[in-house]
Amino acid sequence: MLISSTDELKKFCDTTLRDHPQYIAVDTEFMRSYKEYYPKLCLIQIAYSNQKCIIDALEENLDLSPLNNIFYNKNIIKVFHDCRQDLEALSTRFSQSPSPIFDTQIAAMLCNYYDNAVGYSRLVEQFLGITLNKLLLKRSDWSLRPLSQSKIDYAFDDVVYLYQLYGKVYKSLVSRKRLLWFFEEMQSIEIHKINYDTIFDGIKFFSDIAEKDILIAKYVIEWREKLARSFNVNRNIIMDNQSIFYLIRDIACGKDANVIKKYVREKYWKRLPLDKFGVVEDKDYQPGVCKSVDYDKSVLNVLIVFLYSLCYENDISHRLVASKSDLIKFVTQGTGNIMNGWRYEFFGKHVESFISGKSDIISSIKTQGPSYLSILARLTDSFSIK
């Protein structure tokens, strides 16, 4: 069913509520522009039992509010695969995210060892034995109308098989006793969560950058992100990373905060409280907080090998457990994601014991699965250890 009118959508939603499905599969198609921050929602697909529909979100006269009764219904689980981008696209038209949600990608990675984030096609093939050709229309322009039959089929495939996946992946969680881990993981999903430290690490600053200048750089990065959302423009249109580098270099050379006007268009820098720069040293600057800490790379390598081995042995994806930055943060600061919740119980407590000298995790690295040498050979690609 292709839905392009409010009446059609109301009828579908009324039927869904009468059917009382325990869960429905939901997916979206959207377009991203290099000029805009937010994606443009084009389609919403829903499937359950023998019902399925494609909703044309670009139809000007279509009121999407009837979906509220489904999306916010606590008795209907909304099943997504890799939900963050879908939730981001939906956030442009809905005031809050659907709830409750079940992400098959996260669930599968808690129950199977994958080197990377597992894609929808791989799960469909693994659990249902069906091969999908997702590359054929991956780069399609979903804003074009009318929709071709191939696009319609593609869009339906994304929810019809997703609906079938739910039961199988859910059973895997139950059989491996990881349902509580999954619930914990779903509670932590934030669709607009930005890792500012990762962005900062991507800017090649001079080696002797002062700690207070690092704070200023991180402040500018965060300001840029908030402004990009406010104006719905690509962050690099406001200020690219190279300009941030030159800005911090100028400030380090003694220029005041007004130098930012050289790198940012007026309508943007006017939204930046320049007096913030003057307060950094007095209020926010704490000696040693931002200072780069040296650490033993061999210790990090051992932790990564142990992570691979432990995850392989227990059928869980290492990328879901910890990243390189998570491990570095623990080695240098004793904190991080691996010290919380299920990650601590599964992995963090072993690392904590090893770092404190109470145990030798090297002896617990299993011989089966990825060998020590094969893991190290892949570190450059997956963790960039040098």
* SS3 readout for 6-42: HHHHHHHHHHHHHHCCCEEEEEEEEECCCCCCCCEEE
- Ramachandran region of residue 270, left (φ > 0), alpha (ψ -120 to 50) or beta? alpha
**What's the pLDDT tens digit per position in 321-353?**
999 888 988 888 888 899 999 999 999 999 988
Shortest CA distance to 300 belongs to which of 363, 381, 376? Answer: 376
CB 64 within 8 A of CB 71: no
For 196-284, CATH number?
1.10.150
Portions of the chain given CATH number 1.10.150? 196-284
If you average pLDDT over residues 183-191, what whole number do you get?
Answer: 85
Amino acid in position 320: L
How crowded is residue 368: how many other Cβ atoms within 10 Å of its Cβ?
A: 8
SS3 at position 276: helix
User: Do residues 307 and 368 lie in contact, with contact meaning Cβ atoms separated by under 8 Å?
Assistant: no
2-187 maps to which CATH number? 3.30.420.10
In the chain, ranges of CATH 3.30.420.10 domains: 2-187
> Per residue in 282-310, pLDDT tens?
444 444 444 455 677 888 899 999 999 99
Give CA–CA dist 131/27, Å, rounded. 19
User: What value does the mean pLDDT take over residues 350-359?
Assistant: 82
Residues 1-36 have pLDDT tens digits of 999 999 999 999 999 999 999 999 999 999 999 899
User: For residues 3 and 14, what is the distance between their CA atoms, to the nearest angstrom?
Assistant: 14
- Asked whether residue 144 carries a pLDDT value surpassing 80, the answer given is yes
Q: What is the pLDDT of residues 366-385, one digit of tens each?
A: 544 555 445 545 544 444 43
